[in-house]
Amino acid sequence: MSHCPFCKKKIAMSKAFCSRNCKENYFQLIAIQIPKLFLKRIYVFCSKEEREKEIASFAARHKWRLDLLKNKIEDEAIKMGYIKDPLA
């Protein structure tokens, strides 16, 4: 048995993803690039409400899904030290 790279479900060895949706989400998540200056601006200079507006406009500008973008921003913010890892 193998695992889906996006959702980590067990799948048959002959398949790469468990569903078409997982495949699309996985490749869109890889395509999302977040500039370090954008992260700095939203975490240092913006309030929580302004941050949400900036993220929504950034997602609309690049035609990315908002939920995937928020997950990627959170991961990058943890790596850069702007927020603490909630699981640690």
CA nearest to 25, candidates 68, 61, 63: 68
Compute the average pLDDT of residues 2-13.
Answer: 90
Non-local CB neighbours of 1 within 8 Å, separated by 6+ positions: 10, 11, 12, 13
For 29-41, the pLDDT digits (tens) are: 999 999 999 999 9
Compute the average pLDDT of residues 56-72.
Answer: 94
CB atoms within 10 A of CB 64: 17
Torsion of CA 28, 30, 86, 61, to 10 degrees: -50
CA nearest to 76, candidates 32, 46, 45: 32
